[in-house]
Amino acid sequence: MKIVTPELLRRFDVPGPRYTSYPTADRFVEAFGPADMAHALAQRRAGPAALVLPLSLYVHIPFCESLCYYCACNKIITKKHERGAAYLDDLEREIALYTAHLGIGQSVSQLHLGGGSPTFLSDEELTCLMAMIRRSFQLVPGGEYSIEIDPRTVDENRLAHLASLGFNRVSFGVQDFDPQVQQAVHRVQPAAQVFELMAAARRIGFESVNVDLIYGLPKQTPESFTRTLAQVAELRPDRIALYAYAHLPDRFKPQRRILAADLPSGGDKLGMLGQALDAFQEAGYDYIGMDHFALPNDALAVAKRQGRLHRNFQGYSTQPDCDLIGLGVSAIGKIGATYSQNAKTLEEYSDTLAQGRLPIVRGLALTRDDLARRAVIMALMCQGQVVFESIEVAWLLDFRQYFEAELDQLAEYERMGLVRVDDAGVQVTPAGWYVVRAVAMVFDRYLQADRNRARFSRII
């Protein structure tokens, strides 16, 4: 008997946040700026050294050589690779501003290069970037150091160079192997190329290789997606990230090049998700949560089994919840009880740095209610349960009284077999784990007050 039924998928095919943070980024305000970040950094530096966890770093590289029509990321399409050098100068200025507040040598246990296409940068530029980071921070042994890769921009030699720089995890953007789908989204990359790169990554010895897939793309059909799933099972990456394509052409200009008539029907799209869940289970992958799958021996699957799963702006992680410094255009950071986001245009980002100021244009200082609800939502998203006592002790509240309305809403989910609620807490069931975002949404005070959810992607 299937845990995930078509009826369950249809019932929860609604918009909702991904909860890489709470409150979500759409709640950030422009009243939060560089002075607020400076205060948060001062608090971190003044904290007891024994209690300060290592940092996480995210570096946004916005450049891509060609436009992928489905993309909703902040990117700059250009073939002028000389722009990378000027961008590195800006990153160096930004790092210097952070070390002026924190001091040189802060420990870092997680580094992620995202984009755009980080491999737009040349080997020499990536070497320069990593040297810059190592001069300012201490990358600790055993950390997670990852980079997103456009398979069209690398070969085995480039992969070996990335390993020599200290990257131990790579993520290949595949999306779909079907040639017609690739043409429809303007991202043509033969399957053979990806298979060769995977074999090279294995030879080089990366600890984990991830593959990104998208369902709901133009020209995709249940039959073509079945072929892609079979190829992914043969490829056998350590991790798989499976995302639903959100067609929002009014918000994301590149998507206007996609013909709505080429998109699969809602029923076919949900069917593809069901196909993927079945295929990955049959191939031996553990379902981590939301859109993540991992082989049982991968660190992410081990963390899930051991209750050590965490979630940050890059998704699920094995690293403890820690402060995050976001570097580059539009990058998001988290220091203490604050979130911040950098300027979204290269011009504003660069101009602000030239003036000697952190390029933060908006953010949020979390309230006590925000922090308590974040603890509940992240417990649901990562451990699949909330223990009332742990929240009560941490936030000095009576859980049943404080969240009375939310527990009333969960009664319906309990009747559907998605959660169990008892005197000790809330437990997400195996079926509920597949729609855990919907369970978490119950505790989102902002979302409950504002029913306009169209700005979010669908949770299925």
CATH number at residue 424: 1.10.10.920
> Can you tell me the distance from the alpha carbon of 111 to that of 56, in angstroms, rounded to the nearest whole number?
6
- For residue 386, being part of any structural domain is answered with yes
Burial level of 25, CB count in 10 A (0-12/13-18/19+)?
A: middle
246, 390: one domain: no
295, 420: one domain: no
In one letter, which amino acid is 67? L
pLDDT digits (tens, 9 = 90+) for 383-439: 999 999 999 999 999 999 999 999 999 999 999 999 999 999 999 998 898 889 999
pLDDT digits (tens, 9 = 90+) for 346-364: 999 999 999 999 999 999 9
Kindly state the tokens that stand for 371.
């922090």
| pLDDT reading at 450 higher than 50 | yes
- For residue 37, being part of any structural domain is answered with yes
Domain stop point among 325, 353, 375: 325
**55-59, 77-81, 311-315: lowest mean pLDDT where?**
311-315
- For residue 194, being part of any structural domain is answered with yes
- For residue 174, being part of any structural domain is answered with yes
- What pLDDT does residue 13 have? 73
Please compute the mean of the pLDDT values over residues 151-179 and round it to a whole number. 97
DSSP string, 245-276: ----TTT-GGGGGS-GGGSPPHHHHHHHHHHH
275, 405: one domain: no
- What pLDDT does residue 1 have? 46
Please compute the mean of the pLDDT values over residues 245-270 and round it to a whole number. 92
pLDDT digits (tens, 9 = 90+) for 73-93: 899 999 999 999 999 999 999
Please compute the mean of the pLDDT values over residues 264-290 and round it to a whole number. 92
Domain stop point among 291, 325, 359: 325
394, 261: one domain: no
Full domain range(s) for residue 141? 24-325
Please compute the mean of the pLDDT values over residues 333-349 and round it to a whole number. 97
| Percent of the chain whose predicted confidence (pLDDT) is above 90 | 82
H or E segment and range at residue 100? helix 83-102
- Specify whether the CB–CB gap between 63 and 335 falls below 8 A: no
454, 311: one domain: no
Strand partners for 138: 107
**45-54, 93-102, 240-249: lowest mean pLDDT where?**
45-54
**104-113, 302-311, 373-382: lowest mean pLDDT where?**
302-311
- Specify whether the CB–CB gap between 386 and 456 falls below 8 A: no
User: What is the domain count for the chain?
Assistant: 2
Q: Is the dihedral of CA 30, 346, 213, 187 positive or negative?
A: positive
- For residue 9, being part of any structural domain is answered with no
Residue 266 neighbours by CB under 8 Å, 6+ apart: 13
141, 279: one domain: yes
- CATH number of the domain residue 62 falls in: 3.80.30.20
> Can you tell me the distance from the alpha carbon of 91 to that of 326, in angstroms, rounded to the nearest whole number?
11
- Identify the residue whose tokens are 């369902």: 215
203, 290: one domain: yes
Ramachandran area for residue 116 (φ above 0: left; ψ -120 to 50: alpha; else beta): left
| pLDDT reading at 39 higher than 90 | yes
311, 452: one domain: no
73, 129: one domain: yes
- For residue 172, being part of any structural domain is answered with yes
- For residue 113, being part of any structural domain is answered with yes
296, 412: one domain: no
DSSP string, 112-164: EEEES-GGGS-HHHHHHHHHHHHHHEEEEEEEEEEEEE-GGG--HHHHHHHHH
- What pLDDT does residue 239 have? 97
Task: Specify the pTM.
Answer: 0.93
Please compute the mean of the pLDDT values over residues 250-261 and round it to a whole number. 92
51, 190: one domain: yes
Kindly state the tokens that stand for 174.
């595949």
Kindly state the tokens that stand for 27.
């709640």
pLDDT digits (tens, 9 = 90+) for 184-236: 999 999 999 999 999 999 999 999 999 999 999 999 999 999 999 999 999 99
Please compute the mean of the pLDDT values over residues 296-307 and round it to a whole number. 93
pLDDT digits (tens, 9 = 90+) for 120-135: 999 999 999 999 999 9
- For residue 333, being part of any structural domain is answered with no
